[in-house]
A and B are shown apart, each in its own frame.
Chain A
Amino acid sequence: MDEHPVRLVVEDDLRRSRVTVFFRLLLAIPHFIWVFLWTVVVVLAAIANWVATLALGRPPDSLHRFMCAYIRYVTHLGAYLWLAANPYPGFVGEEGEYPVDVTLPPPASQLRWKTLLRVLLALPSVFVALTLGGLGAVRVPYRGTGGRLGASLGGALAGITAFLGWFASLARGRMPKGLRDAGAYSIGYSAQVLAYLLLVTDRYPNADPTALLESVERPPLHPVHLVGEAHDLRRSRVLVFFRLPLAIPHVVWLVLWAVAAVLVSILVWLATLFTGRPPAALHAFLSRYVRYSLHVYAFLYLVANPFPGFAGVRGSYPLDVELPGPERQNRWVTGFRFILAVPALLVNSVLGWALGVTAVLTWFVALGTGSAPWGLRNLAAYALRYAAQLNAYVFMLTDAYPHASPLEGAGEPQLSFDDAA
């Protein structure tokens, strides 16, 4: 696939100033005022740009430059706010001056029908961007008790990584790489969405984490990682149309299995605490459960095509998970496992929103084309990988903490809690 013209450049060294981290929101207040004013102007300029691009077939140079500066500025501000970068950003969106930056294409001819329908066409990517949080959180209105209208926070991967990263940065003076990568990914995708919306390019945003973070070093290989055939994007339309009802028997079975898994995990927790190692038979049982849940979710969320089996057999499904054996585990990490898992649970919950949105979008696309979009498939696979790592951690299969980086790991496993997030 061709390289996307909007590319994220990450040169951040993960070091953070504790003082600026502590006061980050307050320090950003001038930027909030400035970005508000700039956004008002950009909305008006975007309308003019749209009319001009429709008429000329390409955006005028001056407006294009203005839009590029705005996108860069928003990217810098987002990186600062979500703790994906450390230095205080400038106010004019200078190119190449910030550790998390974005390269944008020069003005080029654009198809007029795509320009005409740009806002409509951009809607799916806006939904994805909202769940990732690079543009802000999704506020889901609901009617609470007494008929009061309230709103809940849904999605916002960047928000949750910043929240967790704030504590970690204050404690260690460094941003955990996994959280930084996740935040940078959200910001990068949002930049692509903005570029598409503001007619900087007519290339559709690509949610593929590997493509977006190609300038970022891959994390160490986690002992729990995905294996299988990622490139088979074919989807049977019949199975897609009936995906939800077809998955329900699996969901029922998964719930029953989960009850047993929870009970068994308590035994494993006690055994691991005393012997330092999970019993092999129970470890194998829980490994099957974790693998089966991945198969079911991969099917339900359209990350893979075929109907999965009910036994969680290794290698039986195109998207599978590699799990470690019953190895020795750190007793401290075992003892406090459920408390330590809370941050990962938060990350997992927002990734769940992204997973849901990608599934809905993939459902429509796959029903029409018989194929899953590569970018959405990989975003969903990232969410599933994280969920599998979390499951493996909570169910005592490993003491390696889930790694939040959207990038697949490379090289030797690194199991330290400090370096992962």
Chain B
Amino acid sequence: MTRTDEELVARSQSGDVDSFNQLIVRWERPIYALAYRVLGREEDARDVCQDTFLRAYRALPGFKGQAKFSSWLYRIALNLCRDWIRRQQRAPVSQMPEDIDPAELLAETQPTESIEDLVARRELSAIVADAMKSLSDEQRTAIILKEYHGMTFQEIADMQGCPLSTVKTRLYQGLSQLRRQLERRGHGMAQLVKRT
């Protein structure tokens, strides 16, 4: 039987560590993905992810359920990412693809995807990650929360502590900036049409 987040939170609050571990299993990948996209480094993302659950566990007695557990968790993770960036005093750096391992590529290839397609996809992924670095922290976070975590404008506004209209502005400006960056790197809409 699958329990809801709320049930697992209630059980965790009464001291059931196994229930909290179920919450970790459920949410560790999205939190890791968020941290990775914001910070751009695997090790940092892993540390932030671990720290997020540790802090969440400690703060669990104070969680009254006003927000969704996932939103609460995302907020903790984003605060940690912000602290991390501030502490390290370094711009987010995305890892560019290193030497491509053929065995790894084969394992990653979808049944309908050729090796060439996969290499192109990885290359584009690196270009997008690099282009994301050109955005401000607020724009990047808004786009990440919207595109990869399916949050509503209101949820993002709550998370970022800003008005709804500001979220829309950040998304619009962020996407426009990203489009320009991709065009500059030869992956714009026009170049794509020419290639095809």
Does A associate with B in a complex?
no
A residues sitting closer than 8 Å to B (CB atoms) are none
